[in-house]
Amino acid sequence: MSEINRRSFLEMVGMVGGGTALYQVMTSMGLAQASPQKMPDLQGGGQGKSVLILGAGLAGMASAYELRKAGYDVKVLEYNARAGGRCWTLRGGDEYTELGGFKQKVGFDRGLYLNPGPWRVPYHHYAYMNYAREFGIKLEVFPQVNFNAYIHRKGGNGQAGTKVRLREPMVDMQGHVSELLSKAVAAGNDLDTGVTGEDREKLMDSLRGWGFLDKNGRYSKGLATSAARGYDEDPGARLQPGKPSTPLTLKQILDDRLWTDLATGMLYEFQSTIFEPQGGMDAMARAFESRLKPLITYRARVTELSQNDSGVTAVYEDLAGGGTQTVQADYCICTIPLSILSQLKLKVGAELEAAIRKVPYAPSFKAGIQYKRRFWEQDDEIFGGITYTDQEIQTLSYPANNYLSQGKGVVLSAYMFGPDAVRFTGMNPADRMKEVLRQNTQIHPQAQKEFDNGVSVGWHRVPWTLGCYGLYTDETRKNAYPVLCARHGRLMLAGEHTSYWNGWQEGALLAATTAVEEMHAFAMKS
């Protein structure tokens, strides 16, 4: 068979992997380049026009920030006593009261913290990056993939579980598959259809290198494979070549489903480089808030929202004791999460009101534990990154800062979604922490002894969101989503729920900047 041309190759990639895969391949071939998100450039002044922003999360504050620059009279209503919404960091001394009345006071040492909401910023989230650059927010690298972190599988029927370094099944899977494929190519069966004779040799060479195969095409124990998967005893000085490690069998990898946690770092959202703001994720929220504070009315719980041909009206309860208040404006950008907005008294159009009520919010749960010492570094040589487990806690993430510190450290000790998150959220905080610690101890036996204190957040009990992020199905993406994204008279919605980056800060920022542009264009015509 003759070699396929570039166009045919790209068509096949698109058919198999979809648009995202096609775009990434085109980028790697130099045929497509990501374009940084441009900030709004609002032509024409907003002087004499008023805009009401509901919610001082990132979407609300970005909207207010851009509209104020254009000269609009902006007012922001915020439920909490702080701005930021889900862009939230818990530090020592903070208090948090969830629905049901459970109150937690954070006991972390100075400088230590937990990000209950967003905790990572991919390099290609350009709106976030542009604001971080404008505001001078310092970022540090977040190691999404640490090959020395663990993949853990709990045992069953009294048997011990499995705990391996991530690099071991990663390299072993690569090796075993390469060996199988090289045998198929050598046998000349249908697996190599379309590969020319010259390319067959190239493919065999690539499999030997990519799969760490020996001269016989086998993936086997030795110094060559250990150079990738790690040694039983590391090489040392002089006459110490290292002691080779024994690869996992393909059956072990498949039986323990170790492969399920290997692909996360390959996903577009999690490919290096990933960042986090120094000192806590709320750095962006604090940067916006410092520029907008005079415009924000805090402790304002919106109860009603309506519009007519001349303007928008919101009714809110002043939780600081000021009673019921009413505010009017020419236009409104509403960033209240749909889970909350659906409970308000609305008069904004039947189609929009119906769409608002169709999108549930994902259940999620996070817990952070402060340990007395950084045993994951000192004992296990894990510096940042993520450990995966099939226990309910699902994910552990180690701090990506203060490496080699002799002091305490905070580990994200549980991060879960779905039914497990619902079950943990339903416990009281003390019981949650006890169970999180027990499961952490299955991975790190030191955890029980080194436990200091912790805090947990079940997002379905967070009063201002009642969930983590907008959860769409194919049907609601098709039918409700376009309605939620559209301008409805003098009202537009914004937030991660009006973005395909839902669940990310980037989605909130992009939704805000596009809403601002759309509303400004409408205002200029009015």
d(CA 193, CA 181): 13
For position 188, what pLDDT does the model report? 73
What number is the average pLDDT over the span 142-149?
Answer: 96
Answer CATH for 90-149+273-277+362-461 from 3.40.640.10, 3.90.550.10, 3.90.660.10, 3.20.20.140: 3.90.660.10
Q: What are the beta bridge partners of residue 96?
A: 104
302 is in an annotated binding site: yes
55 is in an annotated binding site: no
Q: Does residue 157 contact residue 310 with C-beta atoms inside 8 Å?
A: no
Distance of CA 517 to the CA centre of its chain: 26
What number is the average pLDDT over the span 199-208?
Answer: 89
What number is the average pLDDT over the span 190-200?
Answer: 70
Q: What are the beta bridge partners of residue 226?
A: none
Which of 189-193, 333-337, 386-390 is predicted least confidently? Answer: 189-193
294 is in an annotated binding site: no
Q: Is the pLDDT of residue 39 over 80?
A: no
For position 27, what pLDDT does the model report? 42
Q: Mind giving me the DSSP string for 367-427?
A: EEEEESS-HHHHTT---SEEEEESSTT-EEEE-SSSTT-SS-EEEEEEEEEHHHHHHHHTS
Task: List the structure tokens of 442.
Answer: 């299955």
- Per-residue pLDDT band at 45 (split at 50, 70, 90): confident
For position 32, what pLDDT does the model report? 41
**What is the per-residue pLDDT across 84-123, written as a single tens digit (0 to 9) for each?**
999 999 999 999 999 999 999 999 999 999 999 999 999 9
Instruction: Of 104, 99, 100, 90, give the one whose Cα is nearest residue 463.
Output: 99
Answer CATH for 167-261 from 1.20.1440.240, 3.40.50.2020, 1.10.10.60, 3.30.70.270: 1.20.1440.240
Most distant CA pair in the chain, distance: 85
Kind and range of the H or E run holding 347: strand 345-347
Q: Is the pLDDT of residue 518 over 90?
A: yes
- Per-residue pLDDT band at 151 (split at 50, 70, 90): very high
For position 234, what pLDDT does the model report? 93
**What is the per-residue pLDDT across 441-500, written as a single tens digit (0 to 9) for each?**
999 999 999 999 999 999 999 999 999 999 999 999 999 999 999 999 999 999 999 999
Q: Is the pLDDT of residue 320 over 80?
A: yes
- Per-residue pLDDT band at 201 (split at 50, 70, 90): confident
Which has the higher per-residue pLDDT, 392 or 158? 392
**What is the per-residue pLDDT across 250-293, written as a single tens digit (0 to 9) for each?**
999 999 999 999 988 899 999 999 999 999 999 999 999 999 99
**What is the per-residue pLDDT across 403-426, written as a single tens digit (0 to 9) for each?**
999 999 999 999 999 999 999 999
For position 16, what pLDDT does the model report? 44
d(CA 273, CA 141): 7
Q: Mind giving me the DSSP string for 225-241?
A: HHHHH-EEE---STT--
Give pTM, 2 decimals: 0.89
User: DSSP label at 271?
Assistant: P
Residue ranges of alpha helices (H) inside 70-220 are 126-135, 167-187, 197-210
Q: Is the pLDDT of residue 33 over 70?
A: no
User: DSSP label at 488?
Assistant: B
16 is in an annotated binding site: no
Percent of the chain with pLDDT over 90: 83
CATH of domain 50-84+283-359+473-525: 3.50.50.60
- Per-residue pLDDT band at 174 (split at 50, 70, 90): very high
Q: Is the pLDDT of residue 156 over 90?
A: no
Task: List the structure tokens of 379.
Answer: 């004992």
Beta-carbon contacts of 291 under 8 Å, excluding residues fewer than 6 positions away, are 65
Instruction: Of 367, 362, 369, give the one whose Cα is nearest residue 432.
Output: 367
What number is the average pLDDT over the span 313-331?
Answer: 97
Beta-carbon contacts of 496 under 8 Å, excluding residues fewer than 6 positions away, are 59, 469, 470, 502, 503, 504, 505, 507, 508, 511
Q: What is the mean pLDDT of the chain?
A: 91
What number is the average pLDDT over the span 494-511?
Answer: 96
119 is in an annotated binding site: yes
- Per-residue pLDDT band at 194 (split at 50, 70, 90): low
259 is in an annotated binding site: no
Q: Compute the C-alpha angle 145/147/148, nearest 5°.
A: 120
What backbone phi and psi angles, to 5 degrees, belong to 480? -80, -40
For position 18, what pLDDT does the model report? 41
**What is the per-residue pLDDT across 346-399, written as a single tens digit (0 to 9) for each?**
999 999 999 999 999 999 999 999 999 999 999 999 999 999 999 999 999 999
For position 4, what pLDDT does the model report? 45
User: DSSP label at 144?
Assistant: S
Q: Is the pLDDT of residue 13 over 90?
A: no
- Per-residue pLDDT band at 2 (split at 50, 70, 90): very low
CB atoms within 10 A of CB 224: 13
For position 25, what pLDDT does the model report? 47
For position 526, what pLDDT does the model report? 80
Question: Would strands 331-334 and 50-54 be described as parallel, antiparallel, or unpaired?
Answer: parallel
